[in-house]
Amino acid sequence: MTLSNLPPLVTVFGGSGFVGRHVVRALARRGYRIRVAVRRPDLAGFLQPIGGVGQISFVQANLRYRQSVDRAVEGSDHVINCVGVLFEAGRNTFDAVQDFGARAVAEAARAAGAKLTHISAIGANEKSESSYGRTKGRGEAAVLRTVPDAVILRPSIIFGPEDGFFNKFATMARYAPVLPLIGGGHTKFQPVYVADVAEAVARSVDGTIERGRIYELGGPEVLTFRQCLELMLRVVDRKNPLVSLPFGIASLIGSIASLVPFIAPPLTSDQVTLLRSDTIVSEAARSEGRTLEAIGIQPTLVEAILPSYLVRYRQQGQFTKIDKTA
């Protein structure tokens, strides 16, 4: 095979993360050459068997250091930014990763003449009261100013084997006598399966969806926070009571938890602020054809997937007998 007919090269920032690894898998199945750009390439070797020999390579990159971003993008045909943080830790702040970092990737892609797909989040808004939502919004704006034909994907909460939502509360259900319903559990989500998000990313690389648009990705059903926890408890066969926790108290707990060094806080005050707003696909996105269904992807039901990876949280794991009549 000559250089002129090699498959396109796609650089995936954050390719070893929760969403990134599924994106790499979707691209590998299509035959693309993949360059995984991560801070610790030595910890990303588990991705190697996903592709063929020589199909997946690794490069060290940190969005806070522009030179490393430029080096990672060099020679790429398409660039995907999967990097985001749910809480701030050390120098990995929302501003550094989701604003400065998004702009750095976009500028590097433009300089390399590469197409760009950027993963954001529903709720991204430069005027958001949440630092997470505000920096996501600024990152989107920087991306579109720099690469006007970029594809931006805004998922609702993402579920899958390595998710930080259902796994977190299933872990809590093992040890905590009760589970907290922040704000009464009325916040609405539209959980979207990680493989569906990855498929949308892959289609943006294929060129089968319109560029220069913001797509909102949600699952087939809208669930409240309470319904999500009730579903999780049914799957893991546990009966922890659900106790309402006012936003103010939850925010105070989050602020205190964030002060503990060297551990990932179970909750932050910024996450509580996010929970004050629903995370669902907007009517505008539906009417304008900017959804999973509009690009030909049938969203996956939460109940079809949760048992496949939450089974380990049952009392006897996969051997637990579930009372179907309960």
pLDDT of residue 314: 92
Beta bridge partners of 153: 119, 215
Which of 1, 26, 6 is CA-nearest to residue 76? 6
> What domains sit in the chain, N to C, each tagged with a CATH number?
3-157+191-218+280-300 (3.40.50.720)
Record the pTM. 0.94
pLDDT in tens, 70-79: 999 999 999 9
pLDDT of residue 263: 64
pLDDT of residue 86: 85
| Integer CA distances (angstroms), 249 to 170, 182, 272, in order | 22, 9, 10
Which of 46, 73, 44 is CA-nearest to residue 58? 44
Structure tokens belonging to residue 182: 């922040």
pLDDT of residue 2: 47
pLDDT of residue 85: 87
Q: Provide the b/e sequence for 81-92 (b: ≥16 CB within 10 Å).
A: bbbbebbbeeeb
- pLDDT under 70: residue ranges of the chain: 1-4, 261-263, 321-326
pLDDT in tens, 220-247: 999 999 999 999 999 999 999 999 999 9
